[in-house]
Chains A and B, each alone.
Chain A
């Protein structure tokens, strides 16, 4: 009886995690049972144990590490460039109205163009390889950063700037004490979106035009009908996505202590 109420408490506190795990386990079991009994085709959709076997094989061989590292490199380079350029352009366009008027049509046009559609053009310009994929990551993550930074700067009220000016804040101080802290939550949102979009960008670019990397690896496995290996790739990308958004959430929490949740 002693354990009764406290274990009920434990369940309530971890409800979210518990049910999440439950859902995953249930689906995996169905999948496994379905393929084991032949109701589902394991050739087409592999099975959980099939993925484990593929993982053992691939990590045993070790080549997969090279592909992962390659994709991560493209991702990191593209994202860092996008962050630097995106935040700068966002600040400029958010602060100077004329700059906004000039850039706005371009941002609108390019934001609504599927970046992937530019891949054939990029291949013509840069050839197949690292830089084409870096540029895809860059372009795909650039616009969420620009747009969010821009909105952030525009929405830091004239109100707080007026307060700053009334205390004699210099231009520089107005930026460091009002514009930047006020737009930081927006910038971080932009970066989080960019981080996720960028990941999609890497994989898609490699699927279309890669000679290395995770996307290429999956494409190759697909051509040999190794569905377990393809699924392994998907799993790695999924974990990567989860990791990235977790990290970004932490960063946002750290910088937004001043905001009520």
Chain B
């Protein structure tokens, strides 16, 4: 409707010519990301898939403001990212909850960092804990929870600061297959309720297609964009959609591009190891 009114407005996130070079401890350099350009729309669920080590986490950390790119810049809501901000909340991979805090304390963490009072924080996180299905576990410590429950806490912790961009780095990678599927479906439900823009990193094609409006396929290191696929599957999506023909066609298309990349990555790895062994 208001498409022409502001091109920059609807671009939630814009990454321009991102290049990331790490210097390892032994002074050798790794080019993790090479010339990455990406834009997302407001409210979009965008996934990035790629072989491991291709710079996905690095890209997410750049968007979060946790690391600075060697070249290029990321704009969120038209502003250049220089440091972390509550409007961009991160859901990390597995063990990122603070083990010394209870569920409530973990979920309230971002609010505590903003100086929100305890009473106000607990009012605000009550419904969230309910939403992720953790009522009654408020005073449990992370070690007392299953992996799936821990990731719900993780999600609630990110949602608590009411971000408009949710950054998720392989949040379900460590879960068993069944739990993972259930968490995917729940994530979609929560996403519908909260209408946030999501940048979701995964190495699972199936997961990316099921969740996303759009899937970005990254090449092996240094990460570049190989493909940008609009997923036109109807929403809301039941888990059963994963067996539909159109779903499988999306999977097939992505897999074909990744297969050669994974091969390349493995060969590069072997070469590196052989050289390192000398």
Q: Hey, which bits of chain A sit against chain B, CB under 8 A?
A: 159-160, 162-170, 173, 177-178, 181-182, 184, 257-260
Closest CB-CB distance, B208 to chain A, in whole Å? 23
B99–A170 contact, CB under 8 A? no
Q: 12 extra interchain contacts, Cβ-Cβ under 8 A, other than A162-B66, A258-B100?
A: A159-B96, A163-B96, A166-B65, A166-B66, A167-B113, A170-B113, A173-B112, A177-B101, A178-B98, A258-B101, A259-B99, A260-B143
Closest CB-CB distance, A179 to chain B, in whole Å? 11
**Given A166-B84, A169-B113, A177-B109, do A258 and B99 touch, yes or no (CB 8 Å)?**
yes
Q: Classify chain B: how many residues form its interface, as a range.
A: 20 to 34
Closest to A159 in B: B96
Q: Which residues of B contact A257 (CB under 8 A)?
A: 141
Q: Which residues of B contact A166 (CB under 8 A)?
A: 64-66, 84, 89-90
Closest CB-CB distance, B225 to chain A, in whole Å? 25
Q: Which residues of A contact B101 (CB under 8 A)?
A: 177, 181, 258
10 A-B pairs with least C-beta separation: A181-B100, A167-B110, A258-B141, A258-B100, A260-B143, A166-B90, A169-B113, A167-B113, A166-B84, A168-B113
Q: Hey, which bits of chain B sit against chain A, CB under 8 A?
A: 64-66, 84-86, 89-90, 92, 95-96, 98-101, 109-110, 112-114, 141-143, 161
A182–B100 contact, CB under 8 A? yes
Closest to A174 in B: B113
Closest to A176 in B: B112
Closest CB-CB distance, B61 to chain A, in whole Å? 8
Q: Which residues of A contact B113 (CB under 8 A)?
A: 164, 167-170, 173
Q: In the complex, A169 Cα to B110 Cα: how many Å?
A: 8
Q: Main SS of the interface on chain B? A: loop
Q: Which residues of A contact B95 (CB under 8 A)?
A: 159
B98–A167 contact, CB under 8 A? no
Q: Which residues of A contact B99 (CB under 8 A)?
A: 258-259
A177–B98 contact, CB under 8 A? yes
Q: Which residues of B contact A258 (CB under 8 A)?
A: 99-101, 141-143
Closest to B102 in A: A258
Q: Which residues of A contact B85 (CB under 8 A)?
A: 168
Q: Which residues of B contact A182 (CB under 8 A)?
A: 100
**Given A163-B92, A257-B141, do A168 and B98 touch, yes or no (CB 8 Å)?**
no
B86–A167 contact, CB under 8 A? yes
Q: Select one of B64, B66, B84, B98 contacting A160, CB under 8 A.
A: B98
A165–B98 contact, CB under 8 A? no
B100–A168 contact, CB under 8 A? no
Q: In the complex, A164 Cα to B112 Cα: how many Å?
A: 11
Q: Which residues of A contact B114 (CB under 8 A)?
A: 168
**Given A162-B66, A181-B100, A258-B99, do A167 and B109 touch, yes or no (CB 8 Å)?**
yes
Q: In the complex, A163 Cα to B154 Cα: how many Å?
A: 11
Q: Which residues of B contact A259 (CB under 8 A)?
A: 99, 143
Closest CB-CB distance, B175 to chain A, in whole Å? 19
Select the residue from A159, A170, A182, A258 with max chain B CB neighbours within 10 A: A258
